[in-house]
């Protein structure tokens, strides 16, 4: 087997993805979709990854204004490229392990994911990008907060994976959020959430990298 340089693996992978795609997505959405397929090797995302109009542009503009990326898992947080965050002068946070969040969730009998969304909604002065890849309760609570006008996210990435309230939470966030990227159906995951954030950051830093 011929040795392939690490820098060439990603390039070759994207060439294969592009050649095997069945659809022709819009130019601004294609890099995000291809990054998700690259992460999962799952071409079903051609059908189930949906974008609101202007979602990608909303993220790029949020980066210019010092966005804070909020994840619902530490796994998603760990998957976000730290060098890209630093380059863009933005930050990513996850409150799932926050002591206060855990205590409040226990006292109220709700999930930490839901309470972590409430805590993130109190961040002021910076646009918020929510990247939910695991907990539908986080997405449901975020939809509540949007409806209550407690928070107005620059973008919601809704890609929780699973079987209970997963599809429902995604459909609801599509009804409430102004800008969203959602994986309809059961598929998704923390790795997908991180991949979408990374794809958006790469497009800001180096347009064309995801192609």
Mean pLDDT over all residues of the chain? 95
Residue 155: which residues within 8 A CB-CB, separation 6 or more?
A: 55, 58, 59, 62, 129, 130, 177, 179, 180, 181
Residue 29: which residues within 8 A CB-CB, separation 6 or more?
A: 51, 55, 56
Name the pLDDT band for 211 (thresholds 50, 70, 90).
Answer: low
Model pLDDT for residues 147-170, shown as the tens digit of each residue:
999 999 999 999 999 999 999 999
| pLDDT at residue 144, rounded to an integer | 98
pLDDT surpassing 60 at residue 1: no
CATH topology of domain 39-205: Rossmann fold (3.40.50)
| pLDDT at residue 8, rounded to an integer | 82
Residue 124: which residues within 8 A CB-CB, separation 6 or more?
A: none
For the chain, the structural domain boundaries read 39-205
Decide: 179 and 172 in contact? Cβ < 8 Å: no
pLDDT surpassing 70 at residue 208: no
Q: Which residues are catalytic?
A: 38
Decide: 118 and 141 in contact? Cβ < 8 Å: yes
- As given in the structure block, the two tokens for residue 11 are 């390039």
Name the pLDDT band for 107 (thresholds 50, 70, 90).
Answer: very high
State the distance between the two ends of the chain, measured CA to CA, in whole angstroms. 26
Q: Which of 158, 153, 101 is nearest to 132 (CA)?
A: 158
pLDDT surpassing 70 at residue 3: no
């Amino acid at each position: 087997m011929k040795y392939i340089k690490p820098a060439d693996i990603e390039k070759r992978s994207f060439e294969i993805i592009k050649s095997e795609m069945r659809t022709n997505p819009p130019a601004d959405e294609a890099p995000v979709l291809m990054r998700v397929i690259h992460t999962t090797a799952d071409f079903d995302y051609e059908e189930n990854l949906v974008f609101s109009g202007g979602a990608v542009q909303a993220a790029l503009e949020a980066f210019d204004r010092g966005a804070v990326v909020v994840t619902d898992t530490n796994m998603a947080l760990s998957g976000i490229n730290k060098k890209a965050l630093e380059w863009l002068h933005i930050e990513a946070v996850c409150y799932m392990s926050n002591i206060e969040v855990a205590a409040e969730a226990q006292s109220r009998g709700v999930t930490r994911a839901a309470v972590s969304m409430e805590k993130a909604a109190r961040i002021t002065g910076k646009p918020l990008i929510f990247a939910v890849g695991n907990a539908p309760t986080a997405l449901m609570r975020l939809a509540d907060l949007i409806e209550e006008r407690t928070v107005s996210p620059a973008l919601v990435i809704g890609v929780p994976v699973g079987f209970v309230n997963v599809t429902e939470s995604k459909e609801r966030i599509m009804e409430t959020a102004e800008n969203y990227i959602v994986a309809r159906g059961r598929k998704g995951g923390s790795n997908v959430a991180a991949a979408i954030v990374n794809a958006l950051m790469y497009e800001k830093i180096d347009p064309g990298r995801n192609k």
